[in-house]
Structure 1
Amino acid sequence: MGRRFSSVRARTTLGATAVVAVALVAAGLAVVLLLRANLGGQADLSAEVTAREVASQLATGTPYRSLDLPDGDEHPVQVVDEHGRVRAASEDLKAISGTGSPAVRPDRSPPPPDGDSDDDSDFDDDPGRGEVSDDGPRLSTGSATVDGRTADYRFAAVEATTPADETVTVYAGADLAAARNAVGTVTRTMLAGLPLLLAVVAGVTWLVTRRALRPVEAVRAELAEITAAGDLARRVPVPASRDEIAGLAATTNATLAALEDSVAKQRGFVADASHELRSPIASLRTQLEVAAAHPELLDVDGLTEDVVRLQDLAADLLLLARIDAGDRPPERPVALGRLVQDELDRRAPVDRLPVQASIEADPHVMGVPGRLSRVIGNLLDNAQRHANATVRLTLREKAGTAIVSVADDGPGVPPGDRERIFERFVRLDDARSRDEGGAGLGLAIARDLVTAHGGTLTIGESSAGGALFEVHLPVTTSRVGGP
């Protein structure tokens, strides 16, 4: 169960549902606050309109007893003079709070002397005779009991001056029950609908994610079968959609193809290596068995030759294995001219033909001296085996590239075989080769080493009609012994 809820589909569903929940709660809160503010503003406006209507009647001289006051409990009205006496009120108004008036019903007693006025009006100036105050209403929240029903109201206070020069304040209320009921209804509706909406979002996300990840599961299942069967020729299904999953499947198939090719090459390499090792080992065994039976027939030189051949082949195979494994010794700046000359001097006593060398420059390259010497040595070995009379080596620098050319005047290499000769254990027919025990690894090793140094090794035709090998290596600005 824990694994099920830790899946990508479960995490995606939970994440999407959480995001939608937060968004809905924020949006719902904003809607409720806006609705409350809007309905509150409407209540204020309704109370002010009612208060100004009554104040307008007073300003035009309508007597208190003849005022047209709103009926019902939606807009209770109370008129208070500047001495705090209630002069008029809605018929069914029984109690009121929030207006500042202690009384409810009209007071018909005479007003106190002018000096005893307890007017505590918050308005700046009284309106003129027969006018209604232009100031904004004074708003307050209170409660009122109308016809036996007590409710909360929003009160607006507006001043007016009668033609008799009496300034009064009209308090008119607007019932808040409708606004509060509307806000409560909206809130309850949102709270009731939120779980259902989140369930729909979670369900849709779960189904859509399952559909989207179905190709991934198909790729995983096929890879599991390929791994179990060890059949690298099989491929994973590529969905028809041109999306990231299709790209993943295509890349997986490309990886499987590369892996299949690599395994095939590795198996071929092992088979070829076994074949090449079998011959010298069989020769050694035969000679040793003959020597054991007939010591006088022991050929020491032949045994030594076979041992050297076996040793060289083992060394070549070990070097190829290291190259394939990505073994890269530390590189340093190498003076290529000096390295080539040292290799020529080392080989001079044993070469079949003298090498005509032309070292026109001494470019510096980044590399491993021993492996670069191996490249030069392998190319010269190949030229020595196939040349008729001439082997030429040239070193020059051109456009930031060091170029080493090795040419011979032998039979050359047909264009159709010029890439094949760089494959491992490949040897051309006897017309091309004077090989006396070579395993066909020299050129393969040379190309792999050059490639590992960031260069290229190509073959063409020399001016004498033989083979022309060219090594291209990038030149470095660093110098031997430099910082």
Structure 2
Amino acid sequence: MRSVRARAALGATVVVALALAAAGLAVLLVLRANLTGQAGLQAEVAAREVAGQLALNVPYDELRTGDEEDHPVQVTDEDGRVVAVSEDLEAISGTGTDRVTPLPYSSGGGADDDGDDDDGADGAGPARGEVSTEDPDFANGTATVDGDRADYRFASVEATNEAGVTLTVHAGAPLAAEQRAVASVRGAMLTGLPVVLLVVAGVTWLVTRRALRPVEGIRREMAAITASEDLSRRVPEPGSRDEIARLARTTNETLTALEASVDRQRRFVADASHELRSPIASLRTQLEVGAAHPELLDVPGAVADTVRLQELAAGLLLLARLDAGERPGTARLDLGALVHEEVSQRTGDRIPVTVSVPEGGGFEVTGSRAQLARVLGNLLDNAERHARGAVAVAVRTRGGGVGVEVTDDGDGVPEAERERIFERFVRLDDARTRDEGGAGLGLAIARDVAVRHGGRLTVTGAAGERGARFALWLPDAR
């Protein structure tokens, strides 16, 4: 079954069917036990009535057994021989013997085979003229009375007559009422169970259909969004506060994030095309002029445009790898040593860089040496571009990790722009000239690399009246 509604209806129906079957079986068992107990009680009463007569030494052929059809009676002696039966009893089972013909006895009913009148004076055997007070034995059996065969519940009660003979009275009570009641209840259950299951299946189907109606609306809208590629559309959110409403809200949040990601990607492609077009056009112009007039070829300008184009391509390639989920390396490296190495290679900087790294080390981090070196280089390039006369780098341990602060004495970054400068291809107004400003990728790359290394990159104002402080934090390798 591919339908959730069908599976829910089937599941509910199966569960209800099992529950009703178990409950019905329990009801039938309890009902049968109660009715069988009542029949046993009736059989016990009948048996004790006959046993009382035997205790009074009533002759066997004069025993009053009541209604023979309702309470067939069979009396046996200690050896299991039948000594008396109720009138019209033709067959019996369940009492230990199926004989229904009494053996001939003396008219007194108390003599044994040798005619001895032993009365048990030695104290052996049960008391004379008494009915046993112990709980009777019960058994189910059948009896045929006057040609009618039926099921009975038999009770066996012992009695001792005045001659000291122990007799067992087997009296039965009919089980017809119990059988009719159980059959009626079973028939009602078998008739009502399919109706109940149909009702349960129908109600479950309707309730599930109503509950899943918003899901179908979400599915249709998502299909329409997929077909139209219009990520500005949103799925309908039901007014309820259940799981489906949360699903709709989460879907819309996902669509919002997807739309923003696609917009960023489109802007990225557009900005990348724009940034690449400028150095390529400048380089082509210079080469065309040089081809026509070699004496006018601006070789330094062509080299600068080529370098700028190379750096831009490298930055775009790194961003593409980061967006694709490239994981940082797992090498351990000393961030203080990396700072010294990067600064020592910057021989052409406009402003010398002051480095502050405490002795003793302890600045180990885990990650990609090339990517972290790129971060430091981008931060230093940004500081050199905006500084007036001083650029400083400080390394220190901080908050369970290693911090690197790059400070310049330039005009600083307005507080409202401090997050925006980490977006791709963003350059503030004072850094938009292509001669002095970059393409707007350096800080974006630096933050992406820091985040993927489990760290962070922020910007604040410098301690003095002007300037900016870029703070890089990475977790300690330990």
* TM-score normalised by structure 2 residue count: 0.89
Moved more, 376-385 or 88-97: 88-97
CA 169–387 in structure 1, closer or farther in 2 if over 3 Å, else same: closer
Q: Report matched runs for 1:229-308 at 5 Å.
A: 229-308=228-307
Does the alignment pair 1:395 with 2:391?
no
CA 462–126 in structure 1, closer or farther in 2 if over 3 Å, else same: same
The C-alpha deviation readout for 1:316-348, integer Å capped at 9, x for no partner, is: 11111111111124221110111000001111x
- Aligned counterpart, 1:426: 426
Aligned-partner residue type, residue 49 of structure 1: V
CA 131–457 in structure 1, closer or farther in 2 if over 3 Å, else same: same
- Aligned counterpart, 2:349: 351
Shift of 1:12: 2.2
- Aligned counterpart, 2:44: 48
Q: Hey, what's the Cα distance between the residues in 2 that align with 1:372 and 1:82? A: 107
Q: Hey, what's the Cα distance between the residues in 1 that align with 2:333 and 2:84? A: 113
Aligned-partner residue type, residue 467 of structure 1: A
Q: Hey, what's the Cα distance between the residues in 2 that align with 1:247 and 1:156? A: 68
Shift of 1:370: 0.9
- Aligned counterpart, 1:224: 223
Q: Hey, what's the Cα distance between the residues in 1 that align with 2:30 and 2:317? A: 80
- Aligned counterpart, 1:474: 475
The C-alpha deviation readout for 1:8-45, integer Å capped at 9, x for no partner, is: 22222222222222333333333333333333332222
Q: Hey, what's the Cα distance between the residues in 1 that align with 2:433 and 2:468? A: 12
Shift of 1:157: 2.6
Q: Are the equivalent residues in 2 in contact too, given 1:17–1:198 (CA < 8 A)?
A: yes
Local SS of the residue matching 2:36: helix
Local SS of the residue matching 2:345: helix
Q: Are the equivalent residues in 2 in contact too, given 1:70–1:77 (CA < 8 A)?
A: no
Q: Are the equivalent residues in 2 in contact too, given 1:126–1:161 (CA < 8 A)?
A: no
- Aligned counterpart, 1:212: 211
CA 165–454 in structure 1, closer or farther in 2 if over 3 Å, else same: closer
Q: Are the equivalent residues in 2 in contact too, given 1:332–1:366 (CA < 8 A)?
A: yes
Q: Are the equivalent residues in 1 in contact too, given 2:385–2:437 (CA < 8 A)?
A: no
Local SS of the residue matching 2:430: coil
Q: Report matched runs for 1:14-29 at 5 Å.
A: 14-29=10-25
CA 78–297 in structure 1, closer or farther in 2 if over 3 Å, else same: same
Shift of 1:431: 7.5
Aligned-partner residue type, residue 454 of structure 1: G
Moved more, 164-173 or 209-218: 164-173
Shift of 1:209: 1.8
Moved more, 316-325 or 203-212: 203-212
Q: Hey, what's the Cα distance between the residues in 2 that align with 1:149 and 1:199? A: 43
Does the alignment pair 1:10 with 2:11?
no
Q: Hey, what's the Cα distance between the residues in 2 that align with 1:113 and 1:470? A: 119
- Aligned counterpart, 1:120: none
CA 145–432 in structure 1, closer or farther in 2 if over 3 Å, else same: closer
Alpha-carbon RMSD across the aligned residues, in angstroms, is 2.7
Moved more, 32-41 or 328-337: 32-41
Q: Hey, what's the Cα distance between the residues in 1 that align with 2:412 and 2:141? A: 112
Q: Hey, what's the Cα distance between the residues in 2 that align with 1:364 and 1:472? A: 12
Q: Hey, what's the Cα distance between the residues in 1 that align with 2:440 and 2:114? A: 130
The C-alpha deviation readout for 1:188-213, integer Å capped at 9, x for no partner, is: 33223222222222222222222222
Local SS of the residue matching 1:303: helix
Aligned-partner residue type, residue 391 of structure 1: V
Local SS of the residue matching 2:429: coil
Q: Hey, what's the Cα distance between the residues in 1 that align with 2:164 and 2:300? A: 146
The C-alpha deviation readout for 1:438-471, integer Å capped at 9, x for no partner, is: 2121111111111211112111222341122111
* TM-score normalised by structure 1 residue count: 0.88
Q: Are the equivalent residues in 2 in contact too, given 1:126–1:133 (CA < 8 A)?
A: no
Q: Are the equivalent residues in 1 in contact too, given 2:137–2:155 (CA < 8 A)?
A: yes
Q: Hey, what's the Cα distance between the residues in 2 that align with 1:322 and 1:8? A: 42
Q: Are the equivalent residues in 2 in contact too, given 1:412–1:432 (CA < 8 A)?
A: no
- Aligned counterpart, 2:316: 317
Aligned-partner residue type, residue 300 of structure 1: V
Equivalenced residue count is 465
Shift of 1:170: 2.5
Aligned-partner residue type, residue 386 of structure 1: H
Q: Are the equivalent residues in 1 in contact too, given 2:328–2:453 (CA < 8 A)?
A: no
- Aligned counterpart, 2:119: none
The C-alpha deviation readout for 1:207-240, integer Å capped at 9, x for no partner, is: 2222222221111111111111111111111222
Determine which of 97, 102, 106 is the counterpart of 2:99: 102
Q: Are the equivalent residues in 2 in contact too, given 1:461–1:468 (CA < 8 A)?
A: yes
- Aligned counterpart, 2:121: none
Aligned-partner residue type, residue 12 of structure 1: A
Q: Are the equivalent residues in 2 in contact too, given 1:395–1:402 (CA < 8 A)?
A: yes
Q: Hey, what's the Cα distance between the residues in 2 that align with 1:68 and 1:82? A: 21
Q: Hey, what's the Cα distance between the residues in 2 that align with 1:262 and 1:438? A: 24
Shift of 1:378: 0.9
Aligned-partner residue type, residue 184 of structure 1: A
- Aligned counterpart, 1:121: none
Local SS of the residue matching 2:436: coil
Local SS of the residue matching 2:403: strand
Q: Hey, what's the Cα distance between the residues in 2 that align with 1:138 and 1:241? A: 66
Local SS of the residue matching 1:142: strand
Shift of 1:260: 0.8
Local SS of the residue matching 1:328: coil
The C-alpha deviation readout for 1:72-122, integer Å capped at 9, x for no partner, is: 5111224455687766543443443444263446957557764489xxxxx
Shift of 1:60: 3.7
Q: Hey, what's the Cα distance between the residues in 2 that align with 1:389 and 1:433? A: 20
Gaps of 5+ in 1: 118-124, 478-483
Q: Hey, what's the Cα distance between the residues in 2 that align with 1:393 and 1:345? A: 12
Q: Are the equivalent residues in 2 in contact too, given 1:126–1:159 (CA < 8 A)?
A: no
- Aligned counterpart, 2:325: 326
